[in-house]
């Protein structure tokens, strides 16, 4: 059995499992899985920026929020159909992304992380000041009926799961194609050696700002989808955007930085982890965050290159490559080859 | 080239979706899920609640002999202190269960409850409640004491469409008077506009030309205080000379208070809550500013006022419940019984240390008392009957309420419980609030005293 | 004018706190190249520890000293046990960030479990006036300028910061240990070659940072009058801002940055109504401006990028 066959088989199996899931699980679980799917989109956006382009952002929770409010407001007060708001959310988040991406040309590394952190902390305060939602709180919640299933033989939760997963799969495919294209190679070159990249004719500024915009658009789409799943855009919680920003980063790192399937795996693990650490010790609920934190630390120790990164290495050992053959994969098929060809080095 | 590569998976997806839906393993009969709530066959029930659009049947009787209540409130991280409310109601329900349960229409029921942590995050509240109640409303009878205004607003559509009662929402938002949401009922906390009204009335009597400086939070809570107060002083010589906002979650407001102090106001409306409240008081003292000071009822708490110390001395507020710190109630039989009950049933609670002098435990306890009274007054063990009952509470009292305080609701015209209040004043040396002045009763008046756009926002 | 002075004084008091925590951040940055996300929560734990000692009859000054000592040990242990395994050269910094996030969540929860889930009154390690019903008293007046009085709180916070700066200056510039710390910070490989125990120096760096954090945490708790689980959340954001403004590797920068950020904050709240409740815009706009002109902050070292 060679590498490609294994990969195709695994890909098809995963795809079948992903598509069969909504018929197997109860609505509560479908909703959790949908959450993992939109989380994965935002994490993928951040992965493009941080993993493939070397720019750290702790502000993606704000882009996510921009997408969520765009979608919620368009549906709630302008009567748009939900699906039509997704591109609008992407565009608006991308515009904000460009606004942040331009100063990021000069502000780098940890300084950039800091500036984007400011964005995440400010977002809910700005929202609270200017958004007057239901009941006077900074929360926009379109009616449930706005999100009815377009396929009548499916229940809402099943339909919403499939829609989210489908969009996630498309965006992951897009990312996969992108990082293997000319543009993707330019992104990676800028990450690894910015000065060298510019000497070989790469327009560093355009690549960096462009990546920022695309990355923000991914987060914006995830935010829009979150409105369908959670049915509200929220700015009442002063720490929500910060928390989301951090969790996107966590999903990227525990999944596998600069891999294609990493963010998806990371997002799934994160959602499951959060669910199972809540109230894990009956009568000691205050400790829930500590258990979550300890689980994160343990995971980094056990799989320092992330789950996909670590498994990719193992896979490489079990099935040594004869030649670098580009593989086809299913909708959510793993592609560990990107792991091994682009090691996760953040530092020059 | 690229396109042909993903045409395959897409086709596979479409086919798979259809195939898989035919071999679904979960028991779905979603098309007509209990949606016969409004079949008009219940013409004998005179109801102020329109049940025609209910997705469940609110006239269905409880099966078995347990009433299942669910809740969602903060239990960890920075906002875990709100969990103390649940300690109070859980202890009371435990006691009721042990004494044989609650009797509705001649039959006894045990009260069962389940809750989840939402860390004060409204979206978490929504997913918790949807899970606890179930998409078809079959997992719980009612939702009880969800903490937070945005948190309750984020579940009111869902519960309203299902016609599942959402009872004793634990904030004083005036939005609980919105007639579009008849399945949502507030708690005994006074609506925020009544607090503002009460302070305005106090000033009219004692300081008719007061110049008032206001500190409010930058959300609906603060807006209600500010607009309510401005409406209450219309046509008087009282004047608002300065307003400062602070962001929710902040616990340091010294700069805002410095600005207010510079306004030469002689009355201070301290609408801050949590740690910002005592910080505002100590900052006021640091500025050497000595106005007539009022604090939000949300600040009547041992842990908060003790931090203000002498800076809180003389602060006024309005409440309807006895303060467990007040030695006047040390031998009060109700207070003694309350403390014994909580100690007996809920000394261990969510890993938190028990402090019987914490007033919000008592608040939670009283909500459970009122609710049990309403349950027993219900004509049938159905959601509709219970909702009718809580909407027609007629002068219920609690021995833990200040003497003379009673709780009354009257359908959509008056859905507010906590409308009789007593002026209380903080004595720093003694370390507690004491009642002063007469009982003030605004029974049934909240809606008329509140700007309409705040209620129906 | 009086009001202006009030705003400045409030700014200086807060600035001293932000600066002290920023100093702790800078110390760790210099040795590990990272901002310690968990610094605020470590300081919170230390502040609770100080409070816990005072509830057992230890005078507040001594309690803070004990807490600093224990925190330094704790800091060294954290470096050795939690941080070291994920910081081998060539490994991703992101992994350390995740470990720090884990610490951030865990330390807060453990503090609540071990000490208190509520706000607890914190005594003041400076002269205070107490009155009945007041467990911790209020800061005494230090001196008057015109109509404005300066309280001991602002004075003590500023003095602590100045003392801290002097201590760090003497330690880093005048002692062998300081030389070794600086060597490790500027070039770990060469430092190792000249016989410096880099491993020990990393632990010392974390110990110092934890100790300074303990002092900062205890002082801010005393200033606010209480220690509570959310004590350091906002302070940490401002300390980050202070460190970024000053340049992550410069102690002087951290102090100047802390003061600028805090004074800008209080003047914005005081004078710019349009920015009320979003005053945080100003510090971050300042950072952005400064970084656009000087990409390494006001006092940061320039790094030459090599191909």
Convert the pLDDT of each residue in B279-328 to its tens digit: 999 999 888 899 999 999 999 888 888 888 889 999 999 999 999 999 99
Which residue ranges form the domains of chain C, and what is each CATH number? 2-127+142-293 (1.10.3470)
C47 Cβ contact partners less than 8 Å away, ≥ 6 residues apart: C67, C122, C214, C217, C218, C220, C221, C227, C231, C232
Convert the pLDDT of each residue in C70-82 to its tens digit: 999 999 999 999 9
Does a structural domain hold residue A167? Answer: no
Does a structural domain hold residue B437? Answer: no
- Residue C131 dihedral angles phi and psi, to the nearest 5°: -145, 165
B210 and B264 in a single domain? The answer is yes
pLDDT of B195 reads 94
**Contact criterion met (CB < 8 Å) for B175 and A135:** yes
**CA dist., res. B195 & res. B446, Å (int):** 10
B180 and B209 in a single domain? The answer is no
Minimal CA separation from A194 to chain C, in Å: 8
**Contact criterion met (CB < 8 Å) for C7 and B288:** no
pLDDT of B17 reads 62
Does a structural domain hold residue B33? Answer: no
Does a structural domain hold residue B119? Answer: yes
B346 and B311 in a single domain? The answer is no
* Chain mean pLDDT for chain B: 88
Does a structural domain hold residue A7? Answer: yes
Mutate to test the interface with A, among C28, C88, C291, C305 (most CBs of A within 10 A): C291
**CA dist., res. B95 & res. B87, Å (int):** 12
Q: How many domains does chain B have?
A: 2
B385 and B413 in a single domain? The answer is yes
Interface of C to B at Cβ within 8 Å reads 2-3, 6-7, 10, 14, 108-109, 112-113, 116-119, 121, 131-139, 149, 151, 224-226, 228-231, 233-234, 265-266, 269-270, 276-278
B75 and B184 in a single domain? The answer is yes
Mutate to test the interface with B, among A14, A69, A136, A169 (most CBs of B within 10 A): A136
B109 and B199 in a single domain? The answer is no
Q: Which of A58-72, A103-117, C138-152, C166-180 has the lowest mean pLDDT?
A: C138-152
Give, to the nearest 10 degrees, the angle between helix A288-302 and helix A262-277.
Answer: 150
**Contact criterion met (CB < 8 Å) for A293 and C34:** no
Does a structural domain hold residue A194? Answer: yes
Nearest to C221 by CA among C69, C89, C111: C111
Q: Which of A37-41, A280-284, A293-297, B318-322 has the lowest mean pLDDT?
A: A280-284
* Chain mean pLDDT for chain C: 89
A158 Cβ contact partners less than 8 Å away, ≥ 6 residues apart: A22, A23, A30, A149, B21
B208 and B297 in a single domain? The answer is yes
Does a structural domain hold residue B111? Answer: yes
Put simply, the chain A residues between 122 and 161 with a CB less than 8 A from any chain B CB are 125, 128-129, 132, 134-139, 141, 143-144, 151, 153-155, 157-158
Does a structural domain hold residue B24? Answer: no
CATH number for the domain spanning A128: value is 1.10.3470
Minimal CA separation from A251 to chain C, in Å: 10
**Contact criterion met (CB < 8 Å) for B282 and C116:** no
Does a structural domain hold residue B287? Answer: yes
pLDDT of B8 reads 54
pLDDT of B222 reads 93
B62 and B145 in a single domain? The answer is yes
B200 and B309 in a single domain? The answer is yes
B107 and B160 in a single domain? The answer is yes
Instruction: Evaluate if residue A237 carries a pLDDT over 50.
Output: yes
Mutate to test the interface with C, among B74, B75, B78 (most CBs of C within 10 A): B78
DSSP for residue A47: I
Minimal CA separation from B215 to chain C, in Å: 12
The token pair that represents C243 in the structure block? 């460190």
| Cβ atoms A241, A85 nearer than 8 A | no
CA distances from B309 to B213, B427, C267 (A): 22, 9, 28
Does a structural domain hold residue B407? Answer: yes
pLDDT of A233 reads 93
B196 and B310 in a single domain? The answer is yes
Residue appearing with tokens 């041992």: B302
Convert the pLDDT of each residue in C76-129 to its tens digit: 999 999 998 888 766 778 888 899 999 999 999 999 999 988 889 999 999 888
pLDDT of C38 reads 94
The partner residue sitting opposite B173, judged by closest CB among A26, A135, A286, is A135
Domain extent, residue A70, equals: 3-141+173-339
Convert the pLDDT of each residue in A95-140 to its tens digit: 999 999 998 888 888 888 888 999 999 999 999 888 888 888 889 9
Q: How many domains does chain A have?
A: 1
Residue C137 CA, chain-centre distance (Å), reads: 25
| Cβ atoms C91, C77 nearer than 8 A | no
pLDDT of B13 reads 56
Does a structural domain hold residue A205? Answer: yes
Strand partners, B107: B104
Instruction: Evaluate if residue A43 carries a pLDDT over 60.
Output: yes
Q: Give the side-chain half-sphere CA count within 13 A for B356.
A: 16
**Contact criterion met (CB < 8 Å) for B255 and C10:** yes
Nearest to B152 by CA among B180, B120, B189: B120
Ranges of chain B with pLDDT below 70: 1-47
Chain C, nearest residue to B251 by Cα: C231
Q: Is the pLDDT higher at A328 or at C163? A: C163
**Contact criterion met (CB < 8 Å) for C133 and B309:** yes
B451 and B304 in a single domain? The answer is yes
Domain extent, residue B116, equals: 56-190+330-418
Does a structural domain hold residue B198? Answer: yes
pTM: 0.89
Dihedral sign from CA coordinates of C14, C15, C18, C23: negative
Contacts of A294 in chain C (CB under 8 A): 102, 106
**CA dist., res. A334 & res. A13, Å (int):** 11
CATH number for the domain spanning B306: value is 3.40.50.2300
The partner residue sitting opposite C98, judged by closest CB among A199, A296, A347, is A296
Chain B, nearest residue to C12 by Cα: B255
- Mean pLDDT to the nearest integer, A10-27: 84
Mutate to test the interface with B, among A135, A229, A230 (most CBs of B within 10 A): A135
């Amino acid at each position: 059995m060679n590498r490609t066959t294994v990969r195709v088989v695994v890909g098809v199996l995963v795809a079948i499992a992903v598509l069969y899931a909504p018929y197997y699980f109860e609505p509560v679980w479908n909703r959790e899985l949908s959450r993992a799917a939109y989380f994965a989109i935002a994490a993928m956006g951040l992965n493009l920026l941080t993993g493939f382009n070397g720019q750290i952002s702790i502000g993606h929770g704000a882009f996510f929020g921009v997408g969520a409010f765009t979608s919620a407001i368009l549906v709630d007060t302008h009567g748009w159909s939900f699906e039509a708001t997704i591109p609008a959310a992407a565009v608006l988040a991308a515009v904000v992304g460009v606004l942040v991406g331009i100063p990021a040309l000069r502000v780098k590394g940890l300084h950039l992380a800091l500036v984007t952190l400011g964005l995440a902390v400010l977002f809910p305060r700005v929202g609270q000041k200017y958004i007057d939602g239901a009941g006077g709180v900074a929360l926009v919640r379109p009616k449930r009926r706005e999100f009815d299933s377009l396929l009548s033989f499916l229940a809402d939760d099943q339909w919403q799961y499939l829609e989210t997963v489908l969009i996630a799969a498309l965006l992951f495919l897009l990312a996969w194609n992108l990082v293997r294209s000319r543009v993707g190679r330019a992104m990676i070159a800028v990450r690894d050696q910015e000065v060298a990249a510019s000497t070989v004719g790469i327009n560093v500024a355009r690549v960096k700002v462009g990546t920022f915009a695309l990355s923000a658009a991914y987060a914006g789409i995830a935010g829009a989808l979150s409105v369908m799943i959670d049915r509200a855009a929220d700015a009442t919680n002063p720490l929500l955007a910060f928390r989301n920003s951090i969790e996107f980063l966590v999903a990227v790192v525990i999944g596998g930085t600069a891999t294609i399937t990493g963010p998806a795996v990371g997002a799934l693990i994160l959602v499951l982890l959060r669910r199972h650490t809540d109230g894990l010790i009956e009568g000691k609920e205050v400790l829930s965050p500590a258990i979550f934190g300890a689980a994160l630390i343990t995971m980094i120790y056990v799989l320092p290159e992330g789950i996909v990164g670590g498994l990719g290495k193992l896979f490489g050992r079990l099935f040594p490559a004869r030649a670098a053959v580009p593989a086809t994969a299913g909708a959510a098929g793993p592609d560990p080859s990107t792991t091994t060809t682009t090691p996760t080095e953040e530092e020059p | 080239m690229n396109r042909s590569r993903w045409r395959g998976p897409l086709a596979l997806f479409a086919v798979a979706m259809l195939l898989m839906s035919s071999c679904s393993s979960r028991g779905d009969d979603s098309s007509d899920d209990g949606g016969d709530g409004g079949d008009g066959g219940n013409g004998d029930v005179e109801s102020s609640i329109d049940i025609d659009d209910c997705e469940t049947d609110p006239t269905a009787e409880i099966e078995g002999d347990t009433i299942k209540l669910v809740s969602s409130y903060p239990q960890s991280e920075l906002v875990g202190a709100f969990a103390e409310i649940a300690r109070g109601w859980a202890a009371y329900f435990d006691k009721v269960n042990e004494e044989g349960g609650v009797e509705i229409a001649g039959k006894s029921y045990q009260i069962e409850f389940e809750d989840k942590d939402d860390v004060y995050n409204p979206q978490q509240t929504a997913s918790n409640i949807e899970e606890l109640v179930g998409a078809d409303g079959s997992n719980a009878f009612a939702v009880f004491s969800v903490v937070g205004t945005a948190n309750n607003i984020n579940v009111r559509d869902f519960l309203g469409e299902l016609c599942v009662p959402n009872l004793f929402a634990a904030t004083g938002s005036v939005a609980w008077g919105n007639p579009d949401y008849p399945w949502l009922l507030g708690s005994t906390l006074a609506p925020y506009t009544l607090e503002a009204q009460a302070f305005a009335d106090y000033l009219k009597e004692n300081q008719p030309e007061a110049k008032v400086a206001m500190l409010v939070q930058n959300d609906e809570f603060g807006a209600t205080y500010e607009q309510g107060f401005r409406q209450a002083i219309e046509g008087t010589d009282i004047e608002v000379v300065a307003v400062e906002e602070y962001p929710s979650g902040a616990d340091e407001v010294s700069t805002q208070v410095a600005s207010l102090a510079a306004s030469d106001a002689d009355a201070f409306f301290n609408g801050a809550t949590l740690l910002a409240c005592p910080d505002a008081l100590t900052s006021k003292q640091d500025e050497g500013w000595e106005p007539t000071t009022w604090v939000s009822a949300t600040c009547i708490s041992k842990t908060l006022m003790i931090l203000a110390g002498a800076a809180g001395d003389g602060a006024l507020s309005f409440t309807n419940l006895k303060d467990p710190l007040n030695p006047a109630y040390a031998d009060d039989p109700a207070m003694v019984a309350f403390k014994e009950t909580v100690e007996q049933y809920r000394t261990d609670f969510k890993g938190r240390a028990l402090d019987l002098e914490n007033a919000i435990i008592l608040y939670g306890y009283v909500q459970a008392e009122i609710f049990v009274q309403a349950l027993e007054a219900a004509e049938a063990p159905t959601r509709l009957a219970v909702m009718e009952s809580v909407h027609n509470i007629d002068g219920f009292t609690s021995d833990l309420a200040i003497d003379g305080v009673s709780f009354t609701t009257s359908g959509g015209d008056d859905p507010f419980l906590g409308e009789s209040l007593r002026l209380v004043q903080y004595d720093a040396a003694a370390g507690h609030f004491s009642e002063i002045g007469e009982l003030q009763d605004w029974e049934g008046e909240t809606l008329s005293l509140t700007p309409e756009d705040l209620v129906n926002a | 004018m009086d009001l202006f002075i009030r705003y400045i004084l409030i700014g200086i008091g807060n600035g001293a706190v932000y600066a002290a925590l920023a100093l702790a951040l800078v110390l760790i940055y210099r040795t590990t190249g990272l901002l310690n996300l968990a610094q605020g929560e470590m300081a919170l734990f230390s502040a609770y520890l100080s409070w816990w000692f005072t509830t057992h009859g230890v005078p507040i000054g001594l309690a803070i000293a004990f807490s600093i000592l224990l925190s330094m040990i704790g800091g060294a242990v954290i470096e050795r046990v939690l941080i070291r395994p994920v910081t081998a050269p060539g490994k991703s910094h992101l992994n350390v960030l995740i470990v720090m996030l884990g610490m951030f969540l865990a330390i807060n929860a453990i503090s609540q479990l071990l000490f208190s889930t509520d706000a607890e009154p914190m005594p003041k390690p400076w002269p205070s006036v107490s009155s009945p019903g007041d467990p911790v008293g209020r800061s005494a007046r230090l001196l008057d300028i015109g109509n404005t009085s300066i309280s001991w709180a602002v004075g003590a916070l500023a003095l602590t910061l100045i003392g801290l700066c002097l201590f760090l200056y003497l330690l880093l510039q005048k002692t062998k240990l300081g030389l070794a710390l600086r060597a490790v910070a500027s070039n770990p490989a060469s430092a190792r070659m000249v016989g410096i125990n880099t491993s020990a120096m990393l632990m010392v760096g974390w110990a110092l940072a934890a100790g300074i954090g303990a002092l900062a945490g205890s002082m801010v708790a005393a200033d606010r009058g209480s220690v509570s689980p959310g004590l350091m959340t906002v302070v940490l954001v401002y300390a980050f801002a202070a460190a970024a403004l000053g340049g992550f590797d410069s102690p002087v920068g951290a102090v100047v940055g802390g003061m600028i950020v805090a004074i800008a904050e209080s003047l914005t709240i005081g004078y710019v109504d349009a920015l009320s409740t979003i005053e945080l815009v100003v510090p971050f706009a300042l950072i952005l401006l400064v970084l656009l002109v000087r990409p390494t902050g006001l006092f940061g070292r320039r790094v030459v990028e090599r191909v």
